[in-house]
Amino acid sequence: MKISQLGLVGRRVCSSLRARLWTHALVAGTMAIVLFVFGAFLLAQENLQNLLKKWGDQIQINAYLDKDLDAAEVSLLRHKIQNFSEVERVRHISRQQAWKDFQVALGAQSNVLEGLPEDVLPASFEIFIKPAYRDGPIVEAFANRLRKEKGLTSVEYPQEWVNRLSLMVLALQWAMWVLAGILFVAVFFIVRSTVRLAILAQKDEIEVMQWIGAPEELIQAPFVVEGMIQGFIGAGLSVLGLWFFLRFLRDQTPTLIGLFGSLDHLQFIDWGSIALILAMGSLLGASGSVFSLRRFMRTWRG
Amino acid sequence: MIQLSNVSKIYPPNAAALKGISLQIEKGECVFVTGPSGAGKTTLLKLLCREEEPSEGEISINGKNLIRLNSRGIARLRQQMGLLFQEFKFLPHMTALDNVALAGLVVGAPRGASYNKAYHLLREMGLEKKYNVKPLALSGGEQQRVAIARALMNDPIIVLADEPTENLDAELADETMRLFLESRERGTTIIVASHDLDFSQRYRTRVISLHEGYLVDDSKLASKEGRTG
């Protein structure tokens, strides 16, 4: 396409955007809503992945001690475990310390423990794993080895939770792409219908352009550019909406008990995801236009 | 060279506009197609610019079969043609100058050159004071002159004009024909449909007569026959 033709496309786009501002705004708004839903899934997925990484970094094994072990046996066992190549350090939690930690964890509700003996909780080792060994199967194999050690009644590690959360993230990813597929098909048809209306509104103009020998790409280009602009603006609005949504969650929602502890740690989607949303919006707008145009041009061309 | 071989056009359900037309028009020739209303003059021009497809027969321009042209080919064909039909097909929100210059812009001519040439053509058509007026605000004759300017914008190799002087007074009609004939000197083929036989005979060019879709007379063939007979 030559420069003069590009200028012509630019002028036609500006003129169409001015003439049908509300129609364009409606399409951009619809796309913003759909992309917001998609972005919300991305936001959830990225934050869960961050959580997984954080948990992975803090990975530790809790090994509970037999009640009958004396101090010398505990020290010997601790020394043995410390010498395993996977272990970074071992911390001994006595029964009294475990009781105190539990009281602190319960906070205001610690009075429910009144009347219970202070040695009700078992002593344990908190075993911290070296970074090089913080991998699911390695930790699992090590935990199984520990289970065979005499003096340990049970061995627990959070990898099981990490595995479950990983599954959850995977399910969320699938749900996101399936939902995205359904939403995008819906938006595609909305965009296509709107473009069809725009084409009908400009039918005379298209016919005149065809009459004077305008190449097909020159006739189609303004519609495709309009679709891209609509999609890009819709995607931009959805990213903005997500940012406000996250701010609302951080500022207005009180600390939640559960998975996240506090929503203060929630992070906004990264630049790659923002670029993905913007690209998807533009592509969706452009493809809706192309499909509508192909059909109409075929009908009209003499 | 334009070649029609046994061309018929039937509009549904069964209205035959052209029946078995065969003719040949050479490069640089000026041809008047005459005949009463409904003779098939406009249909013939529409077939030549591929606005319509023939129901039977073949049409070729410079060896290219028009039926086989795809949308890109049709666009290229029209870029080489100056079309002037009774329906002017202007963009109403653009000025007369914009409408004429647009024909240059769509083929990729520079903006400045397109506007200069468009202004020059409008001036030749006596519209130098109305170039900035939108087409609907112009009279029928003025609109016709804008359409003529647009038809000549890209130095076409073929001009198809359907009743080009119908809304013009005698002086302007002559001026328009002068412009067309001038372009013929550059090798442009001119095909003018007109119901006015006197007007067509005034320019001493080839005259093809149609009647109810049939080609009933071709002055070129008649003169050949006269010479040989």
User: Could you write out the DSSP letters of every residue in A98-132?
Assistant: HHHHHHHHHGGGGGGGTTS-TT-SPPEEEEEEPGG
B69 close contact with A: CB closer than 8 A: no
For residue range A75-126, what is the model confidence (pLDDT) as tens digits? 999 999 999 998 988 999 988 888 888 888 777 777 777 777 777 888 999 9
Nearest one of A250, A235, A259 to A165, comparing CA atoms: A259
**CB-CB under 8 Å, B89 with A213:** no
For residue range A9-41, what is the model confidence (pLDDT) as tens digits? 888 888 888 888 888 888 889 889 888 988 888
In this prediction, residues A146-158 reach a mean pLDDT of 86
B71 close contact with A: CB closer than 8 A: yes
Between A and B, how many residue pairs show a Cβ–Cβ distance under 8 A?
Answer: 69
Q: How far is CA B56 from CA A60, B62, B151, in A?
A: 86, 20, 29
The predicted structure's pLDDT at residue A302: 44
In this prediction, residues A232-239 reach a mean pLDDT of 94
For residue range A197-223, what is the model confidence (pLDDT) as tens digits? 777 877 888 889 988 999 888 988 988
| Chain A: residues touching B (Cβ < 8 Å) | 1-5, 7-8, 15, 204-205, 207-216, 218, 297, 301-302
> How far apart, in whole angstroms, are the C-alpha atoms of residue B195 and residue B36?
6
ipTM: 0.85
In this prediction, residues B85-100 reach a mean pLDDT of 90
pTM of the model: 0.68
Cα angle B212, A299, A290; round to 5: 160
Q: How far apart are the CA of B30 and the nearest CA of chain A, in angstroms?
A: 22
For residue range B171-209, what is the model confidence (pLDDT) as tens digits? 878 878 888 888 888 889 999 998 887 777 777 789 999
Burial A121-153 (b: 16+ CB within 10 A, else e): bbbbbebbbeeebbeeeebeebbeebeeeebbe
Q: Can you list the positions of beta strands (E) in chain B?
A: 2-11, 15-25, 30-34, 56-61, 64-65, 81-84, 158-162, 189-194, 206-211, 214-218
**CB-CB under 8 Å, A216 with B106:** no
- Residue where the block lists tokens 């203060």: A264
Mutation target to probe the B interface, by most B beta carbons within 10 A, among A3, A4, A219 is A4
The predicted structure's pLDDT at residue A257: 45
Answer yes or no: is pLDDT of B225 > 70.
Answer: no
Enumerate residues 146 to 205 of chain B having a beta carbon within 8 A of any beta carbon in chain A. Answer: 150, 154
Task: Please tell me which residue of chain B has the smallest CA distance to A301.
Answer: B71
**CB-CB under 8 Å, A3 with B150:** no
In chain A, % of residues over pLDDT 70: 89
